[in-house]
Amino acid sequence: MRVAIVGIGLMGAATARRLTEVGGFEISLWNRTRSRAEELGIGTVHDTPGAAIAGAEVVVTSLFDPPALREVFLGPAGLVAVADNQVFLETSTGGPDVLIELSDALRPSGSKLIDSPLLGSTGAVLSGTLDIILGGDEDAVAVAEPVISALGKARIVGPVGAAARLKLVHNTMLAVVSAITAEMMVAAVDAGVDKAEAFAMLSRISPYMKRREQGFLHEEFDSVSFAMSGVVKDLDLALAMFHQFGSSLPVTALTRELYADAVHENGHLDMSAVVRRYQH
């Protein structure tokens, strides 16, 4: 199967490596910074997104935000201009509105977009154990099934946009829980509680935090699976989406401000670096 991967960030690069390990895929790549794609030593690297997807049956896109998605899909030499009866597996966290827009733009070419945000880390990609939620029709999912099954287990949760909404629910909850973990870690130590004991107690309430033990307990933030800058971006998307429906989100709004306070100097670090917002 011929697969194009457009966007070679953390998840895009891990996807390329995983598909290469599984085998059976002919891979082409594009990234805004070409050298990042070339460093992988995988497949064929192209100069434009449109050139990368020529002849591919499935196109995996992994981009940062709605402006990047619109530029790559809708811009000159973009994906929509050259799409031809292809399935687009859109794995970014961009929110539902842009995905519905791009799905509509692809339709005249006979192409279909699957809203497919990835739940998990680069390690889960590399081991093929991702939890993948899908928004799209079953025919398109069937075409992309070899790629999807190489990455993890998937389920369809509705039409295009449905998975993107769920991903924002997921990432909002993760951000809130991580922020209160950071707050309690610093407060507990200030109160004379042993740092390791404090983390053990907090992890009892939220076992997921054990995945960020290096950050919260040892203040090692360089092993990045979800960067601080990405957290702020996703919380902005979540707030905009939920406010459309009149939801009240005081905790989410405050959490967004906590990350934003720390993102200037720590935006490239793992989200557990939010602990720096609380340190004296």
**7-22 residue pLDDT tens:** 999 999 999 999 999 9
Class of domain 165-277: mainly alpha
At CA 68, angle to CA 62 and CA 73, rounded to 5?
Answer: 80
User: What is each CA distance from 152 to 3, 117, 122, 132, in whole angstroms?
Assistant: 17, 12, 12, 7
Specify whether the CB–CB gap between 230 and 62 falls below 8 A.
no
Q: For residue 221, what are its two tokens?
A: 């933030």
- Taking only the tens place, the pLDDT of each residue in 249-273 is 999 999 999 999 999 989 999 999 9
The boundaries of every CATH 3.40.50.720 domain in the chain are 2-159
- Taking only the tens place, the pLDDT of each residue in 106-140 is 999 999 999 999 898 889 999 999 999 999 999 99
Q: For residue 31, what are its two tokens?
A: 């990234």
Spatial separation of the C-alpha atoms in residues 31 and 38, rounded to whole Å? 9
* Helix, strand, coil share of the chain (percent; to 5): 60, 15, 30
DSSP, collapsed to helix, strand or coil, labels residue 45 as strand
Q: For residue 28, what are its two tokens?
A: 């082409």
Does position 222 have pLDDT exceeding 90, yes or no? no
- Taking only the tens place, the pLDDT of each residue in 144-187 is 999 999 999 999 999 999 999 999 999 999 999 999 999 999 99
Q: What is the mean pLDDT of the chain?
A: 96
- Taking only the tens place, the pLDDT of each residue in 83-97 is 999 999 999 999 999
The torsion angle over the Cα atoms of residues 9, 15, 20 and 24, rounded to 10 degrees, is -140
The boundaries of every CATH 1.10.1040.10 domain in the chain are 165-277
Domain 2-159, CATH: 3.40.50.720
